[in-house]
A and B are shown apart, each in its own frame.
Chain A
Amino acid sequence: MSAPSTIERATDLPSLAVRNLNKAFGGVQAVRDVSFDLAEGELLALIGPNGAGKSTCFNMLNGQIPADSGSVRLAGEELLGYAPAEIWRRGVGRTFQITATFPSMTVAENVAMVLMSQQRELFSFFRSATHRHRDRAMELLDLVGMTGQADRPCGVLSYGDLKRVELAVALGNTPRVLLMDEPTAGMAPRERLELMGLAARLVGDLGISVLFTEHDMDIVFGHADRIIVLSRGALIAEGNAEQIRNDPLVLKTYLGEGQIYGQAED
């Protein structure tokens, strides 16, 4: 399939440039003046305690909730103000903290759905969709190791398998930027490392820039090119694994919130 990866990319611009993003829910400032860049091909981790505002950031980046103010540019083009569907068409895909798939469709159909949407076939009333894009869907499922369950309804899958399907769905249109909200949450430790390793390899092969949140510090330190730290809605630190591990403010945030990450101290 000819993916949008052939589109010429401006090399001097970051994939995603986020500036002064703000969001308040009632009196709670969930996200405060957040600014960062996601470089081309980078794996950037956004970490922070529960309730820090990570998911809220993601939701603004993909247009699911409106930002109060700020700017998000994809290769120079402003994204804020567009609906999620349009932001997806411009090349920003995402996975959800709690997986979101279509439970009444089979695994293969879930992936085929992306391809139908990408090729703008959704207003076709007559042709049959039951085996549409099956070959391409199977290729994608092969990447995440799910071909064996291609014809099972998504509603009966285990949580770990759903995460894999979601990954295949997110890769379906080869986005420029992929947002992964806690890609390994709710999985067994071994499975986590495996899935994150897989995701990192796939996006590396496809040249996709990734922003992800994650609670498991082994995964963050093992896979992120760079880490930014969010606390109570504001960014408090930025750097590589070594720098973040030794940042006094980060340590205080985690200790202060009563959330000690054992892995952070080894």
Chain B
Amino acid sequence: MGVYLVQFLTGLASASALFLAASGLSIIFGVTRVVNFAHGSFYMLGAYFGFSFVQMVGGGAIGFWVALLLAAVAVGLVGLLVELVILRRLYKAPELFQLIATFGVILIVQDAALWAWGAEDLLGPRAPGLTGIVRIMGTPMPVYDLVLIAVGPLVLLALWLLFNRTRWGVLVRAATEDREMVGALGVNQSLLFTGVFVLGSMLAGLGGAIQLPKGGADLLMDFGILAEVFVVTVVGGMGSIFGAFLAAVLISQLNTFGILIWPGGTLVLMFILMAVILIVRPTGLLGRPETVGHKAAAGFEQALRPAGPHYKLFVGGLLACLAAAPVFVDEFQLVLITDIMVLALFATSLHFLMSTGGLVSFGHAAFYGGGAYTAALLVTYAASPFELALLLAPLGAGMLALVIGWFCVRLSGVYFAMLTLAFAQVAWSVAFQWSEVTNGDDGLLGIWPSLWASGTQVFYYLALVFCVGGIFLIRRVVFAPFGYGLRATRDSTLRAAAIGIDIKRQQLMAFVFAGAMAGLAGGLFAFSKGSVFPDEMSIPRSFDALLMVLLGGVESLSGPFVGAAAFTYLHDELITFEYWRLLVGSTIVALVLLFPQGLAGAAKHHLGRFLKLEADPEAAAPSPRRKAREA
């Protein structure tokens, strides 16, 4: 009995830090509509700052708590910097740009922390006077856990007072409920946004700091907490602090008891819980439905026109170069171009989903990896020939997309995006944890093509045919009735439904098609490298795809190709530096701030007018959002 009670209390204790971080994310999202991907980094910084401040301020009981609060303040200052320098310029940009920018911040913070505190994990200082152990019904439990249990409700109370008893807090609440109204009241919006962002960052920092005595500080904390924080905020209901508290307790209990029941599967359990809750209550436990007008995928409404004559020449020239490449370049470069083509297909499939469907997926790597694993498992366990395995890769990924998409298309906007991330994480953890079949982190090896296709040149041509074919197929679909129907659901769900379009079905088919195409890319990848690792399904890989789409520009169909090339180049150039993450992160942030249309978009914007890259010059329709504002 005592064991279970202590287990329960331990769950409550770990809920506190999680709640602090999640409430910060939730508050920020509620007011600014930005999903702050760097929130895990703020949590990590809180731990590192806490560690340093405890060393400086000294070991007394008061000094310890002062140090933790100072850590929160320091993280708040970092948040201030991020808001002022980056986010402030992006509030009106499409959501994707904010996400990518905050992802850049993650990378920068990772290297900053590495530089300041080193690569070694830091052992957390113990809280003076609270180092003992109490026995609860005979089972021992650290005293500090009891303190942690109290911190969660205390902060909840403090936030409640802030939001109900202070003018500023009431404003924040009003802004969460209706942003336009607050704007109309003449409140200084940018000040409000900055304040909220700083508050949210401080909460994350405090969360990281208070768990120091239990968990210490290390460089993997950021991604570690991010997935959990996402789950908590979404399950609790975006923007709801009570919801975040409930969900943090729920998730922490699931984790602590889940370990007793199914030790390897806690991640899976957590994401299954999230999926179930979101299907029953699409806006989370205490979240309210989005008011109409907040559209996650805004920024993709531009008209698409078929290729103009010059664009066709350009594509023809590019194809000729690719076909002739083996004559001019060496083997090493040929492998590089193969990689770029595979990534371009992967990115194009995501681009299709985002631009034509308006569906921003954070978990597209699930299908890239899904295709790679389909091929690899077939070769490993069914001794399937290379040709069959390659053809079945898109089928396997498409089936995975059918299952995942069936859940995801019930939601829209940011909830859709987060649910795709959640399922991708499930897919990753299955690949990672089910080592009897997938060989876990060691991956599946020896996945080579048949002899006839194993030469670098032959495989290059094979990849060329499949990747270019896949990209053309996607382009064809965009301009087919299916693509038009999908675009209709993106442009206006009201109108689409009122002319007989089954929106969910159209979106699900798009999700499956995009998944299958990503799976084809994944299958090619597996055979070009001869191996598959869980990394191919991970969050960073999904971000790679988003990044390529962003680099290439969300509005042009050829963008992903440019994006894949730029991505590969950047990656290969920068990875040789010790602080490559810092460089990549800064580059991402700079690109987002300088070229909100992406590289290809920017080039097209400047050159497009006299190069006639599109068939119809009057393509630059203003977004419906802007129109709605003018109306």
Contact = CB atoms under 8 A, between A and B. Distances in A.
A105 B496 CA distance: 13
A100 B498 CA distance: 9
A257 interface: no
Contacts of A85: 497, 500-503
A62 interface: yes
B495 A105 contact: no
Contact of B497 (A83, A128, A186): A83
B498 A62 contact: yes
B621 A89 contact: no
B620 to A, nearest CB: 8
Interface residues of B, number: 41
Interface string B489-526: 01110111111111100100100010000000000000
B480 A128 contact: yes
Given A103-B624, A151-B616, A155-B303, A126 B480 contact: yes
Interface stretch (A6-14, A34-42, A115-123): A115-123
Contacts of A2: none
Interface residues of A, number: 48
B306 interface: yes
B301 interface: yes
A155 B622 contact: yes
Contacts of A98: 631
Nearest to B356: A104
B481 A155 contact: no
B494 A96 contact: yes
A113 B499 CA distance: 8
A125 B514 CA distance: 13
A127 interface: yes
B476 A100 contact: no
Contact of B499 (A104, A152, A169): A169
A103 B623 contact: yes
Nearest to A88: B500
Most buried by A among B304, B484, B513, B622: B484
Contact of A129 (B483, B506, B618, B624): B483
Contact of B621 (A100, A114, A130, A156): A156
B303 A125 contact: no
A137 to B, nearest CB: 13
B303 A153 contact: yes
Contact of B488 (A94, A113, A152, A156): A113
Interface string A129-153: 1101000000000000000000111
A102 interface: yes
Given A84-B498, A88-B500, A172-B499, A124 B627 contact: no
B627 A100 contact: no
B188 to A, nearest CB: 30
A123 B301 CA distance: 22
Nearest to A111: B499
Contact of A64 (B477, B497, B627): B497
Contact of A101 (B306, B490, B495, B513): B495
Nearest to A159: B631
Nearest to B495: A100
A84 B497 contact: yes
Given A64-B497, A85-B497, A117-B500, A102 B488 contact: yes
A128 B484 CA distance: 10
B624 A155 contact: yes
B487 interface: yes
Given A155-B627, A172-B499, A100 B494 contact: yes
Interface in B421-467: none
Nearest to B477: A125
A137 B618 CA distance: 20
B363 interface: no
Interface string B608-631: 000000001011011110010001
Given A64-B494, A126-B480, A153-B621, A102 B500 contact: no
Given A103-B301, A103-B623, A127-B480, A153 B491 contact: no
A122 B481 contact: yes
B409 to A, nearest CB: 14
Contacts of B488: 102, 105, 113
Nearest to A102: B491
A103 B498 contact: no
Most buried by B among A103, A121, A132: A103
B8 interface: no
Interface in B571-614: none
B302 A104 contact: yes
A105 B498 contact: no
A165 to B, nearest CB: 10
A113 B616 contact: no
Contacts of A93: 498-499
11 contacts: A85-B497, A103-B303, A103-B622, A103-B623, A103-B627, A109-B484, A113-B499, A122-B481, A129-B480, A153-B618, A155-B301
Interface of B: 301-304, 306, 476-477, 479-485, 487-488, 490-492, 494-503, 506, 509, 513, 616, 618-619, 621-624, 627, 631
Given A83-B497, A156-B622, A169-B499, 4 more contacts: A96-B495, A125-B477, A130-B306, A155-B303
